[in-house]
Amino acid sequence: MDNLLELMKSSGAVLEGHFQLTSGRHSNVYLEKFRLLEKPDVVMELGRRMASALPEKEVDVVLGAAIGGILLSHAAAAELDTQGIFAERVNGNLSLRRGFELSKGDSVLIVEDIVSTGGSVKELIELVEQYKAKVAGVVCIVDRTKDGVNFGCSTEALLRYPVVSWEPDECPLCEQGILITSRGRTGKK
């Protein structure tokens, strides 16, 4: 798995067309992370890479957002020999359920699959802060933004793959009448 982009392409994770992203923006490229996450050996390798992306950080808990973050937090936590938990959307907001919690002062590594705008990661950071825990850093599989997102902490991407996206009212694909596909919506507001 040396070349993550080639693996994504060969596994069918890079799709072309007209897509509505979770952020609500439109794009001509969609990254279907579950083409990677359906393979346990790939998930464990991604977890290993995520766990080693910020080697100087001590981590008490690995936190991801459901659904992809469930697998990633587990894999990274296994590598770090610590707890892996996930947040779920309740009424459109990320929250901890199922008895998961963070303790004051916990050092939390946030893992994310695809960063398009950084909205979900920002929500996870706010969630960590609500528990008076601290963010050790953020690691994502793919950062598809042009310039990266400043989360105010150490941030790493296993792959930078900038992809153009547009607000719906500025989308040239809509203007051309190309049908849109919504994939993988997470219930985000």
In a domain, 188, yes or no: no
Residue ranges of the alpha helices (H) in 11-151? Answer: 34-37, 40-52, 68-80, 119-130
In a domain, 189, yes or no: no
In a domain, 57, yes or no: yes
In a domain, 16, yes or no: yes
pLDDT in tens, 58-103: 999 999 999 989 999 999 999 999 999 999 999 989 999 999 999 9
* pLDDT tier, 57 (very low <50, low <70, confident <90, very high otherwise): confident
Domains of the chain: total: 1
Q: Which domain holds residue 95?
A: 4-182
Threshold 0.75, pTM exceeds? yes
CA-CA distance, 105 to 58, in Å (whole number)?
12
CATH number for 144: 3.40.50.2020
Output the pLDDT for position 24.
85
In a domain, 25, yes or no: yes
Output the pLDDT for position 186.
52
If you average pLDDT over every residue of the chain, what do you get? 92
Q: What is the mean pLDDT of residues 38-49?
A: 95
Burial class (CB within 10 angstroms; exposed 0-12, middle 13-18, buried 19+) of 77: buried
In a domain, 128, yes or no: yes
Closest CA to 11 of 20, 3, 19: 3
In a domain, 19, yes or no: yes
In a domain, 10, yes or no: yes
CA-CA distance, 132 to 93, in Å (whole number)?
18
